[in-house]
Amino acid sequence: MSDIPGARPVPVSHLTRAQDRLTFLYLEHCVVNRDANAITAQDTRGTVHIPAATLGALLLGPGTTISQQAMVLLAESGSTAVWVGEHGVRYYAHGRTLTHSSRLLERQAALVSNQTSRLRVARRMYAMRFPDEDTSRLTMQQLRGREGARVRGIYRAHSSRTGVPWEGRDYNTADFDDGTPVNQALSAANTSLYGVVHAVIVALGLAPGLGFIHTGHIRSFVYDVADLYKTEITIPIAFDIAARDAGDIGAVTRREVRDRMKDGAFLETCVRDIKTLLADPDEAEAVEYGPEAFENPDVVMLWDTNGRTVAAGTSYGDYGEFDDFDDDGAGP
C-alpha cells in the first residue's frame, strides 16, 4: 500500500503544552512558508525560522503571504493563525486542538447548557476579577453593575496616574486612526489578548463560541476569558503607550503586550484559570488536558444512556435479531 501523500503529521509527543508556548508572534510584509517542522518568514532582509510546535498564535498582518504547507503545519501543531488588518485591529482565526479527547469540551457544553451551572461559572469569573467581594449570591444584573463600576474606576485611576485624558471607550471599527491614542492602544492591545486567549482555548479543545457571560458570538468564550486580564494587562499598557506619544501605536502596543505576557507567564496562568472555571467542585485535584494526558489519543467511544461509554468498532448485535428488517432498515 502506498504512503498517504503529503507531509507526515507532527507527532503529538513532539508538541509543546499550551501553557509552555510562546504567546504570539506578529509578522507583516513577508512570505510565510514551511521548512520541515518550522515556519519560515522571508523578506528582503533574509529568512527567519520559527518552531511551529512552540508557538501559541501567529498574527499575520498586512502584506503577508502564507503557503498551504505552512498552514498545514500550524494546524497540526495546534497553533492558531490569526489574520489581522492594518494596526492589528481586525481579527480572523483558525486553529486545531492539542488534545484528542472531548472531555473538557463536553464539560464546557454541559455547564453552559444549564442555567444553574452557567451562573456558577459566571460568578467564578467575576470573583476572579474582584476577589475581595463575595459574588456567590449576586444575580447577573448585580454582577454586571459591579463590573461596570469597577472598570470605570480603573480607567479613571490610570488616567490620573498617566495624565492621559479619558472620555470613555470610543472607537471606529472602520477607521483605526479616528480614535484617541489611548483608544487606539486599547484596540491593539485587546486584539493581541484575544488572539492569545483564542489560541489557548482552541489548544485545550474547547469551543470559543460557548461563553458564560458573553453569548451570541463565535468568540463569546474568548471574550469571557480575556476580560479576566484586561485590568492587569491591556488597560495599563494602553495608558502608558498613550502617555509616551508613540509613533506607531499598534506596533508598540503589541510589543508591550507580548513582553508583559512573557514576564507574567501568561499562558500558564490562562490555562490554569480556564481549568479552574470549568472544574467540578467535587474533584479532588485538577486534570491535565495537554497531549501528554491521553495515552490513546485516537480512541473513539460510543455514548450510552446509562451515563457510561462503550468501545467503538465492535459489533454489539446478533444479525439474527434484524432478520425482519429490509436492507434499508425500514422494517417488514
- In whole angstroms, what is the distance from residue 7 CA to residue 28 CA? 26
Residues 227, 224, 271, 64, Cα dihedral to 10°: -80
Amino acid letter for position 182:
V
Binding site: which residues?
A: 147, 214, 227
Q: What is the DSSP secondary-structure string of 126-157?
A: HHHH-TTS--TT--HHHHHHHHHHHHHHHHHH
Binding site for Mn(2+): which residues?
A: 147, 214, 227
CA–CA distance from 306 to each of 166, 282, 303 (Å)? 57, 21, 9
Is 57:75 a contact under the CB 8 Å cutoff?
no
Q: For residue 149, give every residue at least 6 positions away whose Cβ sits within 8 Å of its Cβ, in sequence order, or none.
A: none
CA–CA distance from 259 to each of 23, 29, 87, 256 (Å)? 9, 22, 18, 5
Is 162:240 a contact under the CB 8 Å cutoff?
yes
- In whole angstroms, what is the distance from residue 134 CA to residue 129 CA? 11
Residue given cell 501523500 in the structure block: 5
